[in-house]
């Protein structure tokens, strides 16, 4: 029987790819930078979840292969978050967009190297509940946690302050949806490190999808409301 982790991450991956298709169609029509950044984010997380599924399923019998796939999943995580952060920064801190993106890109490159070089030290395990997870060295967990926390918290602050400052309802709703989506990602990501039961696994993966849906609402709210994109 497949571990519950394989099933949940496969479904989550599929949902991210479906959402990517929706955004891709919109981007083909509009070619906006915000849609492009969000598209890269969704595709990256689709591949992240896919690699998690492969690592916990087909490759679970080969520790090193499973660990390398786990590391590859985080490469896509770095990529996705780096591009997602460009959206709020390009809107609120346009002059700093390229500098901040370069910083996140450099950190991502260094972080990816650290994770891959430490792959042999990662210890995958399967619980009786069917949850498959990985025990990672503290410095690897810190490398991942520092990046995701700082980037997503920064994005959340930009969105929530935007919701407070803007008066146009469409743009206010947009900022609120985006802030809530980022907040859920900020919580759901670390939750996976403490998952021990199928229910918690389901909650963590469902939260990721819910966060992505809120972000989709945020991206398309001005368009749906007749406001500017």
CATH number at 64 reads 1.20.1070.10
In this prediction, residue 82 carries a pLDDT of 96
Q: What is the pLDDT of residues 26-71, one digit of tens each?
A: 999 888 888 899 999 999 999 999 999 999 998 888 999 999 999 9
147 assigned to some structural domain:
yes
Is 229 inside any structural domain? no
Domain count, the chain: 1
Q: What is the distance between the alpha carbons of residues 35 and 9, in angstroms, rounded to a whole number?
A: 24
Residue 35 sits in which domain range?
Answer: 4-224
pLDDT at 224: 38
Residues of the chain with confidence (pLDDT) below 50: 224-229
Cβ–Cβ < 8 Å for 50, 58:
no
CA distances from 183 to 153, 165, 171, 219 (A): 8, 19, 18, 15
Domain assignment present for residue 39? The answer is yes
Specify if 218 maps to a domain: yes
């Amino acid at each position: 029987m497949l571990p519950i982790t394989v099933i949940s991450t496969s479904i989550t991956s599929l949902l991210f790819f479906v959402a990517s298709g929706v955004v891709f169609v919109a981007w083909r029509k509009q070619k906006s930078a915000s849609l492009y950044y969000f598209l890269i984010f969704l595709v990256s997380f689709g591949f992240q979840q896919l690699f998690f599924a492969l690592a916990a399923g087909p490759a679970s019998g080969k520790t090193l292969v499973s660990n390398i796939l786990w590391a590859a999943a985080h490469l896509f995580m770095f990529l996705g978050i780096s591009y997602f952060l460009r959206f709020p920064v390009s809107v609120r801190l346009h002059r700093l967009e390229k500098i901040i993106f370069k910083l996140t890109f450099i950190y991502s490159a260094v972080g990816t190297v650290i994770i891959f070089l430490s792959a042999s030290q990662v210890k995958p395990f399967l619980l009786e509940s069917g949850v498959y997870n990985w025990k990672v060295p503290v410095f690897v967990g810190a490398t991942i946690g520092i990046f995701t926390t700082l980037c997503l918290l920064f994005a959340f602050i930009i969105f929530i302050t935007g919701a407070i400052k803007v008066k146009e309802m469409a743009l206010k709703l947009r900022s609120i949806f985006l802030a809530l989506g980022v907040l859920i990602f900020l919580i759901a990501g670390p939750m996976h490190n403490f998952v021990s039961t199928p229910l918690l696994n389901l909650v963590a993966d469902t939260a990721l999808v819910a966060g992505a849906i809120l972000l989709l609402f945020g991206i398309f709210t001005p368009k749906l409301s007749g406001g500017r994109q």
